[in-house]
């Protein structure tokens, strides 16, 4: 009887995992460039860590259960509560600002669709302990540099940028009551996904009068910094857009001007955002947001009692992977071998093993047949492994201290002394060794 995996969960077969590894590599490389340090936490947390942040209604979206110690626990649906718990536990000893990133696997029990599964990996990048707009631009710049590293330009990707302080100022000036703000935010957040008439009815049902509801949706329809600044000035809320303007100024100085679209319909659904908010989308809007985030200055205080400003984002691998596949991404044999070693006879095997060891010591990827096989069969394995080169050792080569080096794409051959074999491969192997040593030492 064949067993099947759970719906909404993925298997990553050899070769197919190359796309995920490419995404992870881009995440870690940009985090390194921006000076972020990696952290992680447990995939299982107390249930109340999430209900305190998002309310009991979130339970319907979780994988939660009672463990053998009669504790209410849940698989993590997001990383921010774990981050808050960890930071508040050592808040006094951590050097500010904290620049941390993590790549957790997250779990949510929700309806599946293209770009949304019940598990995914997500890059979280956060700056904690800095309230200024330069931290906002740093976080947004990192998100943009990831997609740039993956080959995308401003023609492919846009960052839709807004600010909760601006939206709040305009809504309050337009007659929305403070206690009505969460309801209006949720309506504005749906402006591009739901019929305007339905959203108006929802706002009327929530107690807004017709004119106030209409003005609220008009506020969410504002586009462009000039239009936003004019709207702020018209209601005498000068200064409300300063943080947004400065963030854009810094992003422009960083070279990202062509990526930016100011869009007040971006409010992010979560109530804890307090300032600049943003989402990255493909320019054709064929998929859900690639990533989203913003400033959440009060959340750490709410979750852990430590009042530290914070800004960050989450970027999932599912949407990003779909976008890369739409752009024609295929595995370019990233896991292909540098060399396949061929032993002509059984007596040649010890020499092949010695060569393989020396090459692997230099970080060169090497394979050989694990039992006696004809040369043709061994070369077929080399081809299946996408090996670039075959090194052939027979009795004559062994006697002369030489290996036949065959470039498998061109078929050209030459003979190289055993002691010089490792020198014909590029320094990539040694670079990998250095990277591994750096990772082991805790460097990013």
DSSP characters for 204-237? Answer: HHTT--HHHHHHHHHHHT-BSHHHHHHHHHHTT-
Average pLDDT over residues 158-181: 95
pLDDT at 41 over 50: yes
pLDDT top residue among 64 and 431:
64
pLDDT at residue 331, rounded to an integer: 65
In this structure, are residues 254 and 137 in contact, taking their beta carbons and an 8 Å threshold? yes
Band of residue 336 on the pLDDT scale cut at 50, 70, 90: confident
Q: Which residue has the higher pLDDT, 331 or 328?
A: 328
- Does the structure show a pLDDT above 50 at 327? yes
Q: Residue 366 carries which DSSP code?
A: E
* Average pLDDT estimate for 141-162: 95
Edge-to-edge strand list for the sheet holding 44-46? 44-46, 72-75, 64-66
pLDDT given for residue 443 in this prediction: 43
- Give yes or no for a cis peptide into 97 (omega within 30° of 0): yes
Whether residue 336 contacts residue 408, with contact meaning beta carbons closer than 8 Å, is answered with: no
Q: Where residue 268 falls among pLDDT bands split at 50, 70, 90?
A: confident
Mean pLDDT of 321-346: 83
Q: Is it the case that residue 437 has pLDDT exceeding 50?
A: no
- Asked if residue 272 has pLDDT above 80, the reply is yes
Q: How far apart are CA 12 and CA 21, in angstroms?
A: 11
Model pLDDT, residue 7: 87
In order, the DSSP letters of 142-186 are HHHHHHHHTT--TTTEEEEEEEHHHHHHHHHHTT--GGGHHHHHH
Q: What is the pLDDT of residue 435?
A: 39
Tokens of 76: 């993590």
Mean pLDDT along residues 315-327: 91
The mean pLDDT value for 18-41 works out to 95
Q: In the structure encoding, which two tokens stand for residue 67, read together?
A: 């463990």
Lowest mean per-residue pLDDT among 164-168, 227-231, 304-308: 304-308
Mean pLDDT of 415-432: 75
Q: In what side-by-side order are the strands of the sheet with 402-407?
A: 366-368, 339-343, 389-393, 402-407, 413-417
pLDDT for 341 beyond 70: yes
Q: From the DSSP assignment, how many helices (H) and strands (E) are in the chain?
A: 16, 17
Q: Which region among 134-138, 157-161, 185-189, 438-442 has the lowest average model confidence (pLDDT)?
A: 438-442
Q: The tokens of 113 are what? A: 């669709």
Q: With the CA atoms of 95, 105, 64 and 57 taken in that order, what torsion angle do they form, in degrees rounded to the nearest 10?
A: 70
Indicate whether 112 pLDDT > 50. yes
List the single range of 206-210, 243-247, 284-288 with lowest mean pLDDT.
Answer: 284-288
- The pTM of this model reads 0.84
Cα separation of 166 and 407, whole Å? 62
- Of the chain, the percentage scoring pLDDT greater than 70 comes to 94
What is the reported pLDDT for 440? 41
Taken in order of first residue, the domains within the chain and their CATH numbers are 18-326 (3.30.930.10), 339-432 (3.40.50.800)
Q: What is the pLDDT of residue 1?
A: 64
**387, 339 in Cβ contact below 8 A?**
yes
What is the mean pLDDT of the segment spanning 128-149? Answer: 96
Q: Above 60 in pLDDT, residue 197?
A: yes
What is the pLDDT confidence band of residue 260, given thresholds at 50, 70 and 90? Answer: very high
* Per-residue tokens: 348: 């040649």
pLDDT confidence band for 427 (50 / 70 / 90)? low
Which pLDDT belongs to residue 439? 40
Q: For residues 419 and 442, which has the higher predicted lDDT (pLDDT)?
A: 419
> Are the C-beta atoms of 363 and 431 separated by less than 8 Å?
yes
H-helix or E-strand spanning residue 282: strand 276-282
Q: Give the three-class secondary structure for 340.
A: strand
Torsion of CA 48, 52, 54, 58, to 10 degrees: 30
Tell me what the mean pLDDT of segment 49-55 comes to.
82
pLDDT reading at 432 higher than 70: no
Give residue-wise pLDDT tens across range 362-398. Answer: 889 999 999 999 999 999 999 988 899 999 999 999 9
């Amino acid at each position: 009887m064949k067993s099947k995996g759970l719906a909404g969960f993925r298997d990553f077969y050899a070769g197919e995992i190359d796309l995920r590894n490419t995404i992870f590599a881009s995440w870690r490389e940009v985090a390194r460039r921006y000076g972020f340090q990696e952290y992680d936490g447990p995939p299982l947390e107390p249930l109340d860590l999430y209900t305190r942040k998002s309310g009991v209604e979130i339970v319907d979206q979780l994988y939660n259960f009672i463990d053998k110690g009669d504790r209410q626990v849940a698989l993590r649906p997001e990383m921010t509560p774990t981050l808050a718990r960890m930071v508040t536990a050592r808040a006094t000893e951590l050097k500010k600002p904290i620049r941390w990133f993590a790549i957790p696997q997250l779990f949510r029990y929700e309806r599946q669709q293209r770009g949304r599964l019940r598990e995914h990996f997500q890059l979280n990048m956060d700056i904690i302990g800095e309230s200024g707009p330069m931290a906002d631009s740093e976080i947004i710049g990192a998100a943009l540099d990831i997609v740039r590293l993956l080959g995308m330009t401003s023609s492919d990707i846009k960052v839709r940028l807004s600010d909760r302080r601006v939206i709040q100022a305009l809504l309050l000036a337009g007659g929305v009551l403070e206690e009505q703000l969460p309801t209006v935010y949720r309506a504005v957040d749906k402006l591009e996904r739901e019929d305007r008439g339905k959203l108006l009815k929802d706002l009327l049902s929530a107690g807004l009068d017709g004119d106030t509801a209409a003005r609220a949706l008009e506020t969410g329809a504002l586009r462009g910094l000039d239009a936003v600044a004019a709207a702020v000035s018209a209601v005498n809320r000068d200064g409300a857009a300063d943080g947004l303007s400065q963030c854009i100024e810094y992003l422009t100085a960083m070279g990202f001007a062509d990526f930016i679209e100011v869009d007040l319909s971006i409010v992010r659904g979560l109530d804890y955002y307090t300032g600049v908010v943003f989402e990255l989308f493909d320019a054709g809007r064929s998929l859900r947001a690639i990533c989203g985030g913003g400033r959440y200055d009060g959340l750490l205080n709410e979750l852990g009692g430590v009042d530290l400003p914070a800004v960050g984002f989450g970027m999932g691998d599912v949407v990003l992977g779909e976008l890369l596949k739409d752009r024609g991404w295929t595995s370019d044999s990233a896991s292909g071998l540098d060399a396949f070693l061929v032993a002509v006879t059984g007596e040649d095997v010890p020499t092949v093993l010695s060569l393989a060891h020396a090459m692997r010591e230099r970080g060169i990827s090497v394979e050989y047949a694990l039992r006696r096989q004809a040369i043709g069969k061994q070369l077929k394995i080399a081809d299946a492994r996408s090996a670039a080169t075959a090194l052939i050792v027979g009795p004559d080569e062994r006697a002369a201290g030489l290996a036949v080096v065959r470039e498998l794409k061109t078929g050209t051959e030459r003979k190289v002394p055993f002691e010089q074999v490792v020198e014909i491969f590029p320094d990539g192997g040694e670079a990998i060794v250095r990277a591994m040593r750096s990772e082991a030492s805790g460097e990013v």
